[in-house]
Structure 1
Amino acid sequence: MRRRRRRQGEGPTSFPPSPRVRGTGDSSAASKRSAAALGYTSDRFVLRLLPQGGPRRAPAIHRGYYVRARAVESCVRAFLLGTQDHPRRQVVSLGAGLDSLYFCLKGAGLSADLDFFEVDLPEVASRKAAVIGGSAELSALVGSGVPAAFGSIMFSGEDYKLLGVDLRELLLLEGALRGAGLNPATPTLIIAEVVLPYMEVERSDALIQWAAGHFPRAGFILYEQIHPSDPFGCIMQNHFSRLQSPLHSLTSYPDCKAQQMRFLQRGWTECRIMDMNEFYGCFVPGEEQKRIQALEPFDEFEEWHLKCSHYFILAASKGEALFATPVFSRMEAFLTRCAPCFAGTVAACLCGTGGATAGPKRYGHRSVLLAPGVILTTGGFGDHGGRHGRLTELHILIKHEDGWKSDEVRLAELGMAWDGRLFHTVTLLRSGWAIALGGRKSPVNPALEILRLRGLGDADSLSPSNPVIELAQLPPVKGLSLPRWRHTAAEVTHEGQAYLFIYGGCSSGQSVQADWCFLHVEELYCQQIPVEGPIPAGRHSHSACSWAGGVLIAGGLEASEKPLGSILFLKPTMRGFQWHSVETCPPLTPRYSHTAHVHCGKLLLVGGVWFSAPSVPGVAVIDLETRVLMEYHIDTAFLEWPLMLHNHSSVFMPDREEVILTGGGGSCFSFGTHLNWSPVCLDLSSIWRAGP
């Protein structure tokens, strides 16, 4: 297990000198190698520096290392462009490990009049020197370079020096750089990718201040972690603590503003910073984003965006302007962005006898109120017997006087088994049947069958000791557009007949659906019903709620993978339906992977993912008459684990005005998987008393 985490971990290249932390340097290089092998980057040199890179990484890992490389490359190019009139320029890469930046610049012809210095621990630098010396291609790029085992210099070339120095020893570092030919008067770019957090804060602060004082004209590029206190940040911190390599500076500098002030207070005159969601959306062109999306099947949107919200790129400078303004001036706009304003909190507690009960530890599932006090959960990916995988077991929660009790469901004899799909929909029909539509088994293996379920007996007979569900497969429906997953299905009424309005979702080939269909709920046929108004953009991972004979659509992720803040109402008309936009005050903060309910004229949006870290979505309440919107935190003080509210499911209990949350969570980049282990009850009574 420890080795697997290291293989995937995004960590420092080698600092401080701990075998556990040094191992993440090889892991980082292996992840870069895997991304390059799949075409995310055009870095052939990492393949030379690490000939054996280990197994292929997950798509989210590839994307994470792609955006990291893209951000650093953009900063370096801006420095080179801004200093092109100088006779010489210098780059100092701290904790460089097996990084290939020098060779990429050299191979692209961008290293003219550039001296490159790499610094790492002696044993790491020595190993890299041996790799370079043993590669004809790398040696040719370095020029007349040869391994040099004198002093701190491990490899010396025409414009490249590889130094073995402990970064904590500033006097030794300064002396080694001076001995290698570094000229403090020359415009210098310093790069530190995920290195400083592993140093004691006093030492990393001293290094930042030393660099500002040592170079009259310099830039500093920093890439590392932020936001340690939200659920994803807690998982991230715990991961590095388990590796015995805690992130020392994360508590002292937990967000972009703190990191910016860190540099401005230590001698740097300019400092621009943004998280990686902002960088990807602002500086990666649309066509390039489409290329990345097409490289391999991808369905880890929550993991990808949460990872990007917990890493940043910082560009600091002093002296004359060294960076090309078209790149860094655009960062300024993100420093003044508005964060959501919270009106209060919603109490949360564990469900079950004595405060907790074992719940469906899964995500991508669906839960439905099958009968009063009976919640059925189907599908998803999660834990079964200590192993993670697609789940074929159904789960049931039953309300008793002393709390909720749960168990796995026994299927009726002669019935079929659940097929392990996730990101499907389950809708309870008036007949008492629940119908399951769409979903996927993998991003290239959609679920095509339509399933229906119902409990055998009433709530008393559906006890944890004897829960029985009848499950059957229905014949294909002509005109029903499948496959799709991450879609919605909500009941609407037309000419006195009930239909399921099936809308949006993902489909094969990385496409995002903008279409819909009306499925007659009793006779199961598709009906062509006129829909007027501008056709909304395609989306997935949105929410849909029946209301006033129509359906409310909120949020979602568009094809460009940007969260949506729109609320749409498919309103019944004399002829059919018409799209209307619901404008709220204030506007809804864009989000996706949330759940939704309508009660007493109010639309509730629960959880989800947005780009407004470090806050996380709680409960948004929209008064459908006044259009006033209020956001509420979820108070998790009585939970002993992070509550990750994405890929979850929720059921509204109208008799008690509570929401029962089931499951949720998922993979947290390379830091492990978190699954909420118990159902959670949200007490909404305070919302109704002080609602908008």
Structure 2
Amino acid sequence: MSSESDTADEAVRGTCDDASICKRFAVSVGYWKDPYMQYFVRQAKERKAPEINRGYYARVQGVSQLLCAFLKKTECNCQIIKLGAGLDTTFWRLKDENLLPKKYFEVDFPAIVSRKLHNIKSKPPLSKPIMETHNGDSLLIDAYSLDSARYSILGADLRNLKDMEEKLKKVGMDPQLPTLLVAECVLVYMSPEKSASLLKWAGDTFPTAMFVNYEQMDRLLSNGWEAADAWDMIRVYSSLPQNDVARIEKLEFLDERELLEQLLLHYCISWGTKDSLHLGLAEITF
């Protein structure tokens, strides 16, 4: 790979830190509860703008609603694959809520995975929940991967689908199990050809599946998904439980509502489904 593409990849890895610091700040102000974020990322030195915090709130709650709807439809008899997972804490939060799927997989650049593994190994509040759900012998762990009974994290490049699929299969990914794939601000950093290949791979590999994508664009139907929908984040924000929205809107004064609306209009959540088991996945919405 050229040094130019290495630099580009480095910039993409940097977005992981930006997002994590923003989420950590929003959590510290009280937008949503996440007791695990503090173990992955330090508190931001400067305040984040209220519209940024509300944007992250809408993103986290929106993706979470679709994820929970999928878990409900499948009665947790499913697997979740988080693509470009970064320092995401969903596994730990689902465990706390007793909503773990059969297995939770995360994939990201090896450099990010090794950082995440360092935090997991050195912080008992992160490692204990993994051990509590593990029923095998010792955990399989090396510099760029961890595999336990219910949680697996892999260093892989989403542009190299053959390598990623092999690694996932090695840690127990089952294509026949209903599968939720989640990507947040991931596809937009790949070339259109590579991201289309990823969507098509997911559509071809899992007969019963849902793909949830948070970013600025969507092309699920052209890559083999049976049904798809997309909502811009203003629509998502206004569909969230309004008593909770009222609560978070009291946390900080928002001077310019237009700024928030501009930000929310810039992003959308799209989702596509394939449903060979007729679980009613196409009915999932906000």
TM-score relative to the length of structure 2: 0.90
Separation in 2, partners of 1:45, 1:108: 14
Q: Could you tell me which residue of structure 1 aligns to residue 158 of structure 2?
A: 167
1:355-504 equivalences in 2 (<5 Å): none
**Cα contact 2:214–2:270 (8 A) shared by 1:** yes
Q: Could you tell me which residue of structure 1 aligns to residue 226 of structure 2?
A: 269
Separation in 1, partners of 2:115, 2:200: 30
**Does 2:97 align with 1:108?**
yes
Bigger CA drift: 101-110 or 33-42?
Answer: 101-110
Separation in 2, partners of 1:128, 1:309: 32
Whichever residue aligns with residue 225 of structure 2, its letter is W
Q: 1:280 aligns with which of 221, 237, 249?
A: 237
**Does 2:271 align with 1:315?**
yes
Residues 30 and 220 (structure 1), Cα distance of their counterparts in 2 relative to 1, 3 Å cut: same
**Cα contact 2:274–2:281 (8 A) shared by 1:** no
Separation in 2, partners of 1:208, 1:271: 12
**Cα contact 2:73–2:280 (8 A) shared by 1:** yes
- Kindly state the Cα deviation for residue 156 of structure 1 after the two structures are TM-superposed: 2.0
**Does 2:199 align with 1:208?**
yes
**3-state SS of paired residue (2:146):** strand
Whichever residue aligns with residue 90 of structure 1, its letter is Q
**Cα contact 1:79–1:322 (8 A) shared by 2:** no
Whichever residue aligns with residue 321 of structure 1, its letter is L
| Alpha-carbon displacement from aligned partner over 1:378-414 (angstroms, at most 9, x marks no partner) | xxxxxxxxxxxxxxxxxxxxxxxxxxxxxxxxxxxxx
Q: Could you tell me which residue of structure 2 aligns to residue 509 of structure 1?
A: none
Residues 155 and 17 (structure 1), Cα distance of their counterparts in 2 relative to 1, 3 Å cut: farther
Whichever residue aligns with residue 213 of structure 1, its letter is D
- Kindly state the Cα deviation for residue 101 of structure 1 after the two structures are TM-superposed: 1.2
**3-state SS of paired residue (1:189):** strand
1:293-304 equivalences in 2 (<5 Å): 293-304=249-260
Q: Could you tell me which residue of structure 1 aligns to residue 111 of structure 2?
A: 123
Displacement over 6 Å in runs of 4+: none
| Alpha-carbon displacement from aligned partner over 1:109-154 (angstroms, at most 9, x marks no partner) | 211x43000000111101101101111111111124857117xx51
Q: Could you tell me which residue of structure 2 aligns to residue 81 of structure 1?
A: 72
Q: Could you tell me which residue of structure 1 aligns to residue 128 of structure 2?
A: 140
Whichever residue aligns with residue 53 of structure 2, its letter is H
Q: 1:28 aligns with which of 8, 12, 19?
A: 19
- Kindly state the Cα deviation for residue 324 of structure 1 after the two structures are TM-superposed: 8.0
**Does 2:39 align with 1:48?**
yes
Residues 126 and 118 (structure 1), Cα distance of their counterparts in 2 relative to 1, 3 Å cut: same
Separation in 2, partners of 1:318, 1:79: 12
Whichever residue aligns with residue 270 of structure 1, its letter is A
Q: 1:60 aligns with which of 33, 36, 51?
A: 51
**Cα contact 1:218–1:322 (8 A) shared by 2:** no
**3-state SS of paired residue (2:223):** coil
Residues 45 and 172 (structure 1), Cα distance of their counterparts in 2 relative to 1, 3 Å cut: same
Whichever residue aligns with residue 126 of structure 1, its letter is S
Whichever residue aligns with residue 271 of structure 2, its letter is A
1:613-624 equivalences in 2 (<5 Å): none
List gaps (5 residues or longer) in structure 1.
Answer: 1-14, 227-258, 331-692
List gaps (5 residues or longer) in structure 2.
Answer: 1-5
Separation in 2, partners of 1:45, 1:116: 17
Q: Which has the higher strand share?
A: 1
Q: Could you tell me which residue of structure 2 aligns to residue 176 of structure 1?
A: 167
**Does 2:63 align with 1:72?**
yes
Separation in 1, partners of 2:274, 2:126: 33
The Cα RMSD (Å) is 1.9
Whichever residue aligns with residue 167 of structure 1, its letter is L
Separation in 2, partners of 1:191, 1:324: 16
Higher-RCO chain (CA-CA 8 Å, sequence separation at least 6): 2
- Kindly state the Cα deviation for residue 157 of structure 1 after the two structures are TM-superposed: 2.3
1:516-555 equivalences in 2 (<5 Å): none
Q: 1:305 aligns with which of 261, 265, 274?
A: 261
1:327-346 equivalences in 2 (<5 Å): 327-328=284-285
- Kindly state the Cα deviation for residue 51 of structure 1 after the two structures are TM-superposed: 3.5
Residues 21 and 215 (structure 1), Cα distance of their counterparts in 2 relative to 1, 3 Å cut: same
Whichever residue aligns with residue 266 of structure 1, its letter is N
Separation in 1, partners of 2:57, 2:124: 27
Separation in 1, partners of 2:244, 2:164: 39
**Does 2:82 align with 1:93?**
yes
- Kindly state the Cα deviation for residue 265 of structure 1 after the two structures are TM-superposed: 2.1
1:142-161 equivalences in 2 (<5 Å): 142-143=130-131, 144=134, 146=139, 148-149=141-142, 154-161=145-152
**Cα contact 2:273–2:282 (8 A) shared by 1:** no
Q: Could you tell me which residue of structure 1 aligns to residue 3 of structure 2?
A: none
TM-score relative to the length of structure 1: 0.38
Task: Flag the structure with larger Rg.
Answer: 1
| Alpha-carbon displacement from aligned partner over 1:87-113 (angstroms, at most 9, x marks no partner) | x310000000101111111122211x4
Residues 295 and 183 (structure 1), Cα distance of their counterparts in 2 relative to 1, 3 Å cut: same
**3-state SS of paired residue (2:175):** coil
Whichever residue aligns with residue 304 of structure 1, its letter is L
**3-state SS of paired residue (2:210):** strand
| Alpha-carbon displacement from aligned partner over 1:649-670 (angstroms, at most 9, x marks no partner) | xxxxxxxxxxxxxxxxxxxxxx
| Alpha-carbon displacement from aligned partner over 1:498-529 (angstroms, at most 9, x marks no partner) | xxxxxxxxxxxxxxxxxxxxxxxxxxxxxxxx
Q: Which has the higher helix share?
A: 2
**3-state SS of paired residue (2:46):** coil
- Kindly state the Cα deviation for residue 17 of structure 1 after the two structures are TM-superposed: 5.8
**Cα contact 2:21–2:42 (8 A) shared by 1:** no
Whichever residue aligns with residue 155 of structure 1, its letter is L
Q: Could you tell me which residue of structure 2 aligns to residue 422 of structure 1?
A: none
Separation in 1, partners of 2:198, 2:8: 17
**Cα contact 2:227–2:282 (8 A) shared by 1:** no
- Kindly state the Cα deviation for residue 215 of structure 1 after the two structures are TM-superposed: 0.6
Separation in 2, partners of 1:16, 1:277: 34
Separation in 1, partners of 2:18, 2:140: 24
